[in-house]
Amino acid sequence: MKKVKLEGIRKAVAERLSFSARNTVPVTLTMEMDASKLVRLKDTEHVGFNSFVVKAVAKALETFPMMNSSIEADEITTYTDVNMCVAINTDQGLVAPTIMNANKKSLKEINDEVALLADKAKTNRLTIEELTGGTFTITNLGAFDIESFAPIINPPQCGILGLGRIAYKPYASGEQISTRPLTVLTLVFDHRIIDGLPAARFLQTVKRNLEDPESLL
């Protein structure tokens, strides 16, 4: 038997997730997405999947500002800035550095920043400024063959988007059946801030943005 003291990043993550579990009213929505165009464009543009998702979500948050909110006590704050956190797993634990004003940045700028933050995270060089100020979070376990999962909301944010793997599966379009690269988008949101219908419309908008990735260039 081995005992390890809970400390550092692991302790901070545990405290935040425990707070979220005790203090949010999470609801989970899932939606399947056709990733055919995204797969082709990702290879052509040499842009990572997460970068497309950051841009797609940031664009959707402009249309659904209540999803870009936080709640503390009995007060809801809706932000004009769209600051996207991207969860990154490191040897020290899970961190979620922030891409500030992601809705105002180009896809290329977002991709460069995601790569820089990932490198800094893995070498323990992230600053406090890079780890704070987020208004929405995305997390991706697709590289580990996860189909879908319901992540825990990053408090005090309203929502978090979980991304599963892209895999070729049967796809029906009318009477025609083919195989296409599909993935599952999972939105977990705090029902205290936003109701199910606008949350569903937000997720549908994210899906449409990703199924038309040229609109994100």
Catalytic positions = 191, 195
Amino acid letter, 191: H
Phi, psi of 142 (to 5 degrees): -60, -30
Q: Where are the alpha helices (DSSP H) in the chain?
A: 8-23, 36-45, 49-63, 107-122, 196-211
Yes or no: say if 38 and 213 are a contact pair by the CB < 8 Å rule: yes
What's the CA gap between 140 and 53, in Å, rounded? 10
Amino acid letter, 129: E
Nearest to 151, CA basis, from 136, 159, 162: 162
**Burial class, 51, CB count within 10 angstroms (exposed 0-12 / middle 13-18 / buried 19+):** buried
